[in-house]
Amino acid sequence: MQCMVRVEYITNQFFNSRTYVLSTKSSDEVWLVDCGDVEQALDVLAKGKQVKGVLLTHTHADHIYGINRLLELFPEATVYTNSFGQGALDDSRLNITRYHNEVPDLVITKRENVRVLAEGDKVALFDGVLAEVFSTVGHDASCLTYQVESYLFTGDSYIPGVPVVARFPKSNKKQAATSEARIQTLAENLTVCPGHTI
């Protein structure tokens, strides 16, 4: 397969989570995977480009805290998550920003921009480039994994070398183990892009 998409990331200040920027040579638009220090990410990796949307791996604080800034900068940007994540973007307890002093309590300002994804869905990112959606709940009830060409964005459902954390209020240990095993199989010929820099 010839890869069209270019994948880069910055490591966010908060908990070393990552904001990925997906781009192609021929487009003025970019996509994000997760959303922390959004301005720095764009400044470093995508100056002058338009953000079409963001694919959320899950709606925990450290993966979403830049979302309202993103929507200020790009009011048309689409925010993708699953149905649990849609509710969590509206509730600072479910997205756990309430329990972290490092970031302000977060309730999404433009809930009309949110689109709900489920297992098997596909999102058209660029001409001829799709994101394929896998439900990988367990770490959190909002966990999705995305395959884009040869890249697999796993969030916190699978970070190579790190045990999956399943101690959050909406974690499910058994599901986390099943999801991790599934991702490991999927990842065999792919480049894993995890949710954190370790």
> Which residues bind to Zn ion, rule: CB under 5 A?
60, 156
**Cα separations (Å) of 33 from 22, 90, 125, 167, 172?**
8, 19, 12, 23, 23
Residue facing Zn ion at closest CB distance: 60
CA–CA separation, 127 and 133 (whole Å) = 18
- One-letter amino acid identity for 46? A
The residue among 50 and 172 lying less far from Zn ion, judged by its C-beta, is 172
Min. distance of Cβ 62 from Zn ion in angstroms? Answer: 7
Min. distance of Cβ 60 from Zn ion in angstroms? Answer: 3
- One-letter amino acid identity for 97? T
CA–CA separation, 78 and 123 (whole Å) = 11
Min. distance of Cβ 132 from Zn ion in angstroms? Answer: 21
The residue among 30 and 61 lying less far from Zn ion, judged by its C-beta, is 61
The residue among 24 and 136 lying less far from Zn ion, judged by its C-beta, is 136
CA–CA separation, 54 and 109 (whole Å) = 15
The residue among 66 and 149 lying less far from Zn ion, judged by its C-beta, is 66
Min. distance of Cβ 147 from Zn ion in angstroms? Answer: 19
Please state the three-class secondary structure of 94-120 as a single string: CCCHHHCCCCCCCCCCCHHHEEECCCC
The residue among 149 and 156 lying less far from Zn ion, judged by its C-beta, is 156
Min. distance of Cβ 43 from Zn ion in angstroms? Answer: 25
129 near 149, Cβ under 8 Å? yes
DSSP state letter for 162 = B
The residue among 37 and 156 lying less far from Zn ion, judged by its C-beta, is 156
45 near 139, Cβ under 8 Å? no
Min. distance of Cβ 139 from Zn ion in angstroms? Answer: 6
